[in-house]
């Protein structure tokens, strides 16, 4: 995050290009989603890649930080780009973030319910997803729900 803070000092609220990495944690044909505090929406665990990290390292780190779970044997779910990757946050910061999404069916640890970024974590079946899915993540969550052929490249 230090990199992003340093870049913001230089460019202000202008669009910053980042790479986000997330994990579709699936257990018993259900997807783990977290209810975000900042946007009141449901999304998968994930976040921005730090300098020097691999995609897989970033995804594992974010999953652990946000859920308390260690994810094992990651598989590429998809790479998402395009207009849905633009965002403007409440403070005016703009970002374009390409998303590298993994799936994990093997986890260990104890699931945290609340954290700095989330109200709760819950597993959802593909036919029973919440209505307020994070708009920037909706495409890959719906791809999972539809059983789309992998990996997805958009």
The residues annotated with a catalytic role in the active site are 120
Separation CA 57–CA 83 (nearest Å): 26
Read off the DSSP letter of residue 49: P
Assigned token pair, 8: 């913001």
Separation CA 92–CA 94 (nearest Å): 6
Strand ranges, E, within the chain: 16-27, 30-36, 42-43, 46-48, 69-72, 75-80, 86-88, 94-104, 106-109, 118-125, 152-153
Separation CA 154–CA 150 (nearest Å): 11
Q: What are phi and psi of 132, to 5 degrees?
A: -95, 65
């Amino acid at each position: 995050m230090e990199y992003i803070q340093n870049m913001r000092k230089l460019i202000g609220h202008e669009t910053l290009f980042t790479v986000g990495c997330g994990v579709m944690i699936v257990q018993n044909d259900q997807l783990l989603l977290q209810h975000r505090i900042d946007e009141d929406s449901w999304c998968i665990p994930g976040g921005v890649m730090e300098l020097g990290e691999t995609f897989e390292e970033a995804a594992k780190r974010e999953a652990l930080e946000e859920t308390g779970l260690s994810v094992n044997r990651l598989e590429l779910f998809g790479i998402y780009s395009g207009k849905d990757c633009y965002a403007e946050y409440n403070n005016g910061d703009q970002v374009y973030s390409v998303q590298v999404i993994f799936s994990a069916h093997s986890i260990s640890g104890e699931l945290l319910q609340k954290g700095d970024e989330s109200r709760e974590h819950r597993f959802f079946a593909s036919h029973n997803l919440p209505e307020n899915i994070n708009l920037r993540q909706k495409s890959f969550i719906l791809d999972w729900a539809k059983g789309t052929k992998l990996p997805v490249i958009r």
